[in-house]
Structure 1
Amino acid sequence: MDFYQAIIIAIIEGLTEYLPVSSTAHMIFASSYYGIQEDDYVKLFQVSIQFGAILAVVALYWKKFFDFTKFNFYIKLALAVVPALILGLLFDDLIEQALGDPIPIAIVLIVGGVILLFIENFFINQPIKKEEDITRKKAITIGFWQCLAMMPGTSRSAASIIGGMQQGLTRENAAEFSFFLAVPTMAAATLYSVFLKTYEHSGLKGYELLVESPDNLKMFLMGNVIAFIVSIIAIKGFIGFIKKYGFKPWGWYRIIAGALLLAYFTTYK
């Protein structure tokens, strides 16, 4: 992977991480297009630059994250992230195998788009309008919904937002709680990918890949900065967008993008 490719992938991560369109799918499509998807450092890069996206949420909602008088907020996030931690460890190898084939990911992208077209018809007059009204039980349930995103192409954001709406949250509140839940979820995924995971082709840990060459470390730092900046823009725009238009535009986007990518990869790969 060169610096130009790293910039493109980091921009994609920042734009799509908090939108219901699957950042993983978009990064895989980009890296597959460039022919670099099987490289261990690329796989590490795609996960580790989530750290920049995490910092974007913390920066935008810093009053929420650093209000230590509201201990229940931290408890709910901790409980909600447990299902993903357990299932992620159990199915890491299967997830890794699925990430290598863009065709089923494109299909999942299309299916998820169809669901987004109709999802709001099932959730009307949602009673929970702020995070404080989310119970611990509801938080855990949303955490299980988030686990659907372990299927590449599903979208962590879409799964947790739909889970939130199923638990009675308004679409705006569900989106914000999805942002909050992303912080411990992606922090755990990043730490695992950097310090614990051994990559198949090289046999190296993530941190060993980072320091394998000066360019690797430079791309890692650059990627996180870009993901941070672009994520801030995407988060601010997304909340306003769903208040005005809902989820249907994202559903159509997923269907069109999935169909185009499916056609491309079945024709040229």
Structure 2
Amino acid sequence: MQHIEILKALFLGFIEGLTEFLPISSTGHLILFGHMIDFHSDDGRVFEVVIQLGAILAVCWLYRQKIFDLVKGFFSGDSEARHFAFSVLIAFFPAVVIGIFAVDFIKSVLFSPLVVAIALIVGGLIIFWVESKSFDHKTTEATKITYKQAFLVGCAQCVAMIPGTSRSGATIVGGMFSGLSRKAATEFSFFLAMPTMLGAATFDLIRNADVLTQDNMLNIGVGFVAAFISALLVVSALVK
């Protein structure tokens, strides 16, 4: 029985890594596939948080040189590096505010297959509509994003707190609406994912640290590694 649960954790880890950075909801797919394969985990929310952490660490690894250059530039007084760092913080701020005040409502009311199904359909229709439109892309590089554009992307990210709504899809669409090119919006979405998901993971792990035991650490570890590897493959393909 334990072997079957490990295989289920492995499967869900791959699902997380494959969907986290595509314009489809990773949380929505985890909820739906979790119900389909009857995955039972004593750690509940923590399993999802940790495998999401595996996915975001894959992005950190792929962008490690750029992150290093930005940090180095920030502390050496490089104006472009500082502007980009502040832009990410501005975009991150709305999610912090909404997350702090609405986290319990979101988890207790919105985490259901019905909400996920509706959000997946609506989100898919919006993305389909956006693909059919042409936008005036005033900003073609992520590092050139304005503070106003960053704030609009941050507001768009808050919509993704509804399970079934893609975080990357919401931020990319929000970026394109604000005047970013698809490439710039996608890259900025990756960078915004780092503080957002790392912050959310840390917050949830602190709140649920008591459920981490030796009994469920194996499932969590398997899911984490699977998410890291699959996200690594997906993001590598996307940035090319």
TM-score (norm 1): 0.79
- Give 3-state SS (helix, strand or coil) of 1:127's partner: coil
Query: What RMSD over aligned residues (CA atoms) do the two structures have, in Å?
Result: 1.8
Q: CA 1:176–1:66 in structure 2 vs 1: closer, same or farther (change >3 Å)?
A: same
Matches within 5 A, 1:147-162: 147-162=158-173
Instruction: Trace 1:208-227 onto structure 2 (pairs within 5 A).
Output: 208-210=210-212, 212=213, 214-227=214-227
How far apart, CA to CA, are the structure 1 residues paired with 2:42 and 2:183? Answer: 37
Alignment partner of 2:106 out of 69, 81, 95: 95
Cα deviation, residue 168, structure 1: 0.8
- Partner of residue 16, structure 1: 19
Query: Is 2:187 aligned against 1:187?
Result: no
Matched, 1:32 2:43: no
Letter in 1 for 2:198: A
Contact 1:83 1:147 in 2 (8 A): yes
Q: Does residue 55 of structure 1 match 2:57?
A: yes
Contact 2:8–2:39 (CA under 8 A) maintained in structure 1 = no
1:95–1:40 CA distance, 2 compared to 1 (3 A): farther
1:65 maps to which residue?
A: 67
Give the alignment of 1:44-193 within 5 angstroms: 44-67=46-69, 68-69=72-73, 70-193=81-204
Letter in 2 for 1:120: E
* 1:122 to partner: Cα distance: 3.5
User: What secondary structure is seen at the aligned counterpart in 2 of 1:128?
Assistant: coil
- Matches of 2:209 and 2:152 in 1, distance apart? 33
Cα shift readout 1:109-168 (whole Å, capped 9, x = no counterpart):
111111111103444341211112101221122111100001111110111001110111
What residue number does 1:43 align with?
45
Q: Aligned in 2, Cα 1:57/1:33: closer, same or farther, shift over 3 Å?
A: same
Relative contact order, CA 8 A, sep 6+: which one is greater?
2
**Residue pair 1:84, 1:146 contacting (<8 A) in 2 also:** yes
Query: Any gaps of 5 or more consecutive residues in structure 2?
Result: 74-80
The offset of 1:99, in angstroms, is: 4.7
**Structure 1: runs of 5+ lacking an equivalent:** 198-205, 241-269
Structure-2 separation of matches of 1:61 and 1:174? 16
Contact 1:146 1:160 survives alignment (8 Å): yes
Runs of 4+ in 1 over 4 A off after TM superposition: none
Q: Which amino acid aligns with 2:170?
A: A
Tell me how far 1:100 sits from its aligned partner: 3.7
- Aligned letter for 2:98? L
Structure 1 residue 107, shift from structure 2 partner: 1.6
Structure 2 match to 1:265:
none
**What is the Cα deviation at residue 234 of structure 1?**
0.9
Indicate conservation of the 8 Å contact 2:135/2:177, yes or no.
Answer: no
8 Å CA contact retained: 2:52, 2:227: yes
**Alpha-carbon distance in 1 for matches of 2:151, 2:65:** 23
Secondary structure at the aligned position of 1:49 is classed as helix
Letter in 2 for 1:25: G
Query: What letter corresponds to residue 28 of structure 1 in structure 2?
Result: I
Greater shift, 217-226 or 162-171, is seen at 217-226
| Residue 216 (structure 2) pairs with residue 229 (structure 1) | no
CA contact (8 A) 2:140 2:180 kept: yes
> What residue is the counterpart of 1:202 in the other structure?
none
1:59 maps to amino acid: W
Q: Say whether the 8 Å CA contact 2:111–2:163 is kept in structure 1.
A: no
